[in-house]
């Protein structure tokens, strides 16, 4: 079972407009708490937790000071999700890892638990947690995948939630320092080792300003 998680918090948050002029998106508050703290709440049972940082990295480091959370600062350039994960591997240790985007809010079963229950390293190099469009609150645009019998194909009405387990060994021979995690997905899919899992709860994208109010309404709807 994975015992480490990478939380992605390095992006510029440009869709947030003025809200990220003087702070990174993961420190924007939803229901009185930073998005980064909402994400960390989901990871309390995971021994090794690493957050990457680039834009206003000093603010992320200050926010996490005194906690048992490592920070992988990307400098001078941002490395994207794949490159950022590869840089953080010495802190994450060997073996498969969880990754989690920090610009979403969840209501329902812990997504990390659901992934851990379904993970099978004998048949998988990537397991993506997905949600149907009708439970993807705040989503702008369509879906990402089609999910059929646990297998994913590109295009369709299923949304990737930003939570997954991956085998980081697939990152080793990818060219360049900065690249998307999609490069790992491409390799896993080509080998028939990419899977999807449907999430039974509610999920909200807080990557844009309207997502804050939508997420708070979702959290109140109990």
Look-up of token digits 């439970």: 135
DSSP strands (E only) in the chain: 4-8, 29-30, 33-34, 48-53, 70-73, 97-101, 104-107, 126-132, 136-137, 145-148, 151-154, 158-166, 194-198, 202-205
Q: Indicate the pairing of strand 126-132 with strand 158-166.
A: antiparallel
Classified as helix, coil or strand, 203 is strand
- pLDDT interval class at 201 (50, 70, 90): very high
- Residue 70 to residues 88, 139, 177, 180, 203, Cα–Cα distance (Å): 9, 30, 21, 21, 26
CB of 60 closer than 8 Å to CB of 51:
yes
Dihedral sign of CA atoms 171, 49, 108, 24 in order = negative
pLDDT computed for residue 221 by the predictor: 83
pLDDT, averaged across the chain: 97
Each residue's pLDDT tens digit, 150-192:
999 999 999 999 999 999 999 999 999 999 999 999 999 999 9
- Asked if the model's pLDDT at residue 222 lies above 60, the reply is no
pLDDT-based confidence at residue 139 (cuts at 50, 70, 90): very high
Q: Mean pLDDT over residues 87-98, rounded?
A: 97
Return the pLDDT at 113.
Answer: 98
Rounded Cα distance between 126 and 120, Å, is: 10
Q: Any bridge partners for residue 76, and if so which?
A: none
For the stretch 19-63, pLDDT in tens is: 999 999 999 999 999 999 999 999 999 999 999 999 999 999 999
- Note the pLDDT of residue 1: 85
Q: DSSP letters along 77-140, please?
A: S--HHHHHHHHHHHHH-SS-EEEEESSEEEESS-HHHHHHHH--TTT-SEEEEEEEGGGEET--
- For the residues 53-75, what does the mean pLDDT come to? 98
- Do 195 and 127 meet the contact criterion of CB atoms below 8 Å apart? yes
DSSP class of residue 12? Answer: -
Region of poorest pLDDT, from 87-91, 103-107, 218-222:
218-222
Nearest to 177 by CA among 64, 54, 16: 54
Q: Which domains does the chain have, with CATH numbers?
A: 4-220 (3.90.550.10)
pTM to 2 decimal places: 0.96
Half-sphere exposure of 134 (CA within 13 A, CB side): 1
């Amino acid at each position: 079972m994975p015992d480490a998680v990478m939380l992605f918090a390095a992006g510029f948050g440009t869709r947030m407009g003025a809200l990220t002029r003087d702070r990174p998106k993961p420190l924007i508050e939803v229901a009185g708490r930073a998005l980064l703290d909402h994400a960390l709440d989901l990871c309390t049972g995971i021994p090794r937790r690493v957050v990457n940082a680039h834009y206003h990295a000093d603010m992320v480091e200050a926010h996490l000071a005194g906690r048992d959370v490592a920070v992988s600062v990307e400098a001078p350039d941002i490395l994207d999700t794949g490159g950022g994960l590869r840089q953080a591997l010495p802190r994450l240790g060997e073996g498969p890892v969880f990754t989690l985007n920090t610009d979403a809010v969840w209501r329902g079963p812990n997504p990390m638990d659901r992934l851990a229950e379904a993970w099978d390293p004998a048949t998988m190099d990537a397991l993506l947690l997905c949600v149907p469009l009708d439970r993807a609150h705040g989503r702008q645009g369509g879906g990402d995948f089609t999910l059929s019998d646990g297998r994913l194909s590109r295009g369709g009405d299923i949304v990737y939630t930003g939570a997954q387990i991956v085998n980081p060994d697939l990152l080793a021979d990818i060219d360049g320092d900065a690249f998307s995690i999609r490069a790992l997905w491409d390799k896993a899919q080509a080998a028939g080792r990419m899977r999807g899992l449907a999430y039974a709860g509610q999920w909200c994208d807080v990557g844009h300003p309207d997502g804050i109010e939508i997420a708070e309404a979702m959290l109140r709807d109990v």
